[in-house]
Amino acid sequence: MSETSAPTSQSDDPRARHQDLVQQVEEHRARYYGDDAPTISDAQYDALERELRELEEAHPELAEPDSPTQLVGSARVETGFASVRHRERMMSLDNAFSLDDVAAWLARIGKEAGDHPIVCEPKIDGLSISLTYERGELVRGVTRGDGTTGEDVTANVRTIATIPATLSGRHVPELVEIRGEVFLPVEAFERLNERLLEEGKAPYANPRNTAAGSLRQKDATVTAERPLDVTTYALGALEWGAARPHPSIGTQSGIYEVLAEWGLPVSAFTKVLRGIGPIEDYLEDLEAKRHDLVHEIDGAVLKVDDRAAQAELGSTSRAPRWAIAYKFPPEEVHTRLEDIRVDVGRTGRVTPYGVMTPVLVAGSTVTYATLHNRHEVKRKGVLIGDTVVLRKAGDVIPEIVGPVVAARTGDEVEWQMPAECPACGTPLAEQKEGDKDLRCPNAQSCPAQIVDRIAFIGSRGALDVEVLGEKAAAALVESGVLANEARLFDLAEADLATVPLFTLESDSRKDGVERKAGDVSTNGLRLLENLAAAREQPLWRVIVSLSIRHVGPTASRALATAFESMDAIRAASEDELAAVEGVGPVIAASVKRWFEVDWHVEIVEAWAAAGVRMADERDESVERTLEGLTIVATGSLESFTRDSVKEAIISRGGKASSSVSKNTDYVVVGANAGSKAAKAESLGVPMLTEAQFEALLAGGPAALDA
């Protein structure tokens, strides 16, 4: 092997790659445990460490005793706290990144898979701590450090309210080291960051970093201000002395009973399970509720329950063989912010968004993320070219959290909000002073706004016109067929024949009729059919489609129900509009102003002339059984969609609300209902099954007593 091989990052030479990986892992590990901000995500770190471990397995000659794979936690980070030697070493855990990895671990430890009862519990994303109690008194709190020696943070630990100064119960040992995880509850983290932002200070990156910073404060009064908490999950050294040993100490789950008896917090989510099936169910279930816990979790820890079996399985130099950490897919990754661009929406709002190197996060590939407005870009402090932290938690929309400042090269450039609309060149302006958003005021002829308004008309919440999406709208405007939305319902086959998106490249129409290139495609014909059908949609959907500011589905339904026709809405005074339940002064003013603009009125008139519904005929056969009742529907129902439930309630004179309060008369509870059902229960609001709801629709409240 050549001694001079260059230390490239992706070398084929295992020795060079090994050296490179060792260097990287050591650097990032020092950052993670030290005071410098990490420059790579936890997931990237895990990947490096895993590659290093696999390389050493394939080439055992490379695995020297000082390799970072042989260490636990941080090594040699200077801190200024007194160092304390743990009586018993604080171990790390091996990781499993898939259910297959978990199954492989079960197969490794069991004579046969399913042999061992396994304790399953959340893996708390905090900092490990060792608490030493002598004769029941808390004498020391020590961080993990390198696993052998940690930092003495006793003064800070004493400020944590849930860590008892004295152990309770009948079995208090002479000496015990209790291991657990210190964390900052997510809610406290969010409150802290809100406060920092209000004070104009930089927010913290995540609860874990905040907890680390708080626990390692030189001044314990600062720590005391942070509502840190702890969950305990293991014992280190244990000497009973004259005390009678606790009878439950023979199993891992028994240890949790003992810890609880001593007065220490333990996880409420722990389960003892047997075999891969139930364990997989547990892991899936825990992942689904990962954001419902008070603290962040990054996976689950699986432990052999029986401690005699634990002892038999033993440990490697860094981690026990009887336990494994199952890591959830990462929700926070690093990627490059390649550009910041702006989007002009249907109301003229100009929204900056980040364009990133595509990256996989929480199971989906993300390229774009909104940056909301120019102030947000400033507040986040991101530059074009930055490595950024991208977060996608659960169902939440991906968010650029902030830059990784330490990864800057100096080539990053600051982004400037454009002064003019990128689509039409009109100078951008605040609608009123102090608005966060800038808008393009050219609503009448800005092509970006027109395209978005037309696409919006086709959307599900508006007239629901299949084929009329963003692409079709852009094609209709760019080809000059539509100047704006006024003539949308006048479109004919001859118009579409001039739009390349809707014409045949060859004679490929599949309806059996003979056609030639240049004729309107099947898709174009479908658009015309769908537009014809959309004319019959109820009035409220027509109102939504006008893109009047502040007038969404709720206000549109309220207006349609109260006035029953477009003419009546247009003729109503601002006070009359504002008096409608669910409308109010802001919406009323916006509606009134909208109808004062000539080209708006032209749209309504053109639609009316094309046969679009401008008045709802009241269906006299529907009885107003729900007059005066406020009803919330939650969960999924068998014979109703979200929209048709509302329709059913409103058409019978009731009010369809989306949040439960003490003014709610009934909550209709469907399958998989969540917090709304719980809220109804706690407020004592009557809950209805779907069958009871149908009875209510038909006969009003009296029908429920029958």
* DSSP annotation string for 110-125: -SSTT-SEEEEEEEE-
Contact 114, 56 (CB under 8 A): no
Question: E-assigned strands of 596-684?
Answer: 630-634, 655-657, 666-669
CA 316 to mean position of chain CA atoms: 37
Nearer to ligand IVH, 117 or 447 (CB): 117
Other C-beta atoms lying within 10 Å of the C-beta of residue 152: 15
Question: Two tokens at 260?
Answer: 């609880």
Binding to ligand IVH, residues 115-144 (CB under 6 A): 121, 123-124, 128
Q: Is 93 in the site for ligand IVH (CB under 6 A)?
A: yes
CB 247 within 8 A of CB 257: no
**Applying CB under 6 A, does 499 fall inside the site for ligand IVH?**
no
C-alpha closest to that of 542 among 581, 641, 531: 531
d(CA 423, CA 419): 12
Among residues 111, 123, 510, 655, which one is catalytic?
A: 123
- Could you say which of 176, 323, 558, 649 contacts ligand IVH (CB under 6 A)? 323
Q: How far, CA to CA in Å, does 689 sit from each of 640, 657, 696? A: 13, 17, 10
- 304 binds ligand IVH per the rule CB under 6 A: no
Burial call 241-280: b when 16+ CB within 10 Å, e when fewer: eeeeebeebebbbbbbebbebbebbbbebbbebeebeebe
Instruction: Give the residue with the Cβ less far from ligand IVH, 33 or 666.
Output: 33
Candidate residues 249, 276, 325, 429; the one interacting with ligand IVH per rule CB under 6 A: 325
Nearer to ligand IVH, 17 or 144 (CB): 144
| Region binding ligand IVH by CB under 6 A among candidate stretches 86-94, 490-498, 519-527, 620-628 | 86-94
Please give the Cα distance from 690 to 687 (Å, whole number).
Answer: 10
Q: Which is nearer to ligand IVH, 62 or 297 (CB)?
A: 297
Q: Count residues contacting ligand IVH (CB under 6 A)? A: 14
Determine which residue in the list 20, 56, 177, 181 makes contact with ligand IVH, applying CB under 6 A.
Answer: 181
Instruction: By CB under 6 A, name the one of 32, 204, 233, 262 that touches ligand IVH.
Output: 233
Tokens of 641: 């969609």
Minimum distance from residue 179 beta carbon to ligand IVH (Å): 6
Site string for ligand IVH, 34-73 (x = CB under 6 A): ----------------------------------------
Identify whether the C-beta of residue 149 lies closer than 8 Å to the C-beta of residue 124.
no
C-alpha 364/C-alpha 300 separation (Å) is 22
Binding mask 355-394 for ligand IVH (x = CB under 6 A): ----------------------------------------
**Chain-centre distance of CA 598, in angstroms?**
43
Distance of closest approach, residue 106 Cβ to ligand IVH, in angstroms: 17
Q: Which stretch binds ligand IVH (CB under 6 A): 85-93, 192-200, 285-293, 454-462?
A: 85-93
CB of 255 to ligand IVH, least distance (A): 11
Backbone angles phi, psi at 29, to 5 degrees: -65, -40
CB of 111 to ligand IVH, least distance (A): 22
- Min dist CB 211 to ligand IVH, Å, is 12
> Would you call 123 a catalytic residue per the annotation?
yes
What tokens were used for 153? Answer: 């943070």
**Shortest CB 168 distance to ligand IVH, Å:** 23
Distance in Å, CB of 93 to ligand IVH, minimum: 4
Which residues participate in catalysis according to the annotation? 123
Interface contacts to ligand IVH, rule CB under 6 A: 91-93, 121, 123-124, 128, 181, 233-234, 301, 320, 323, 325
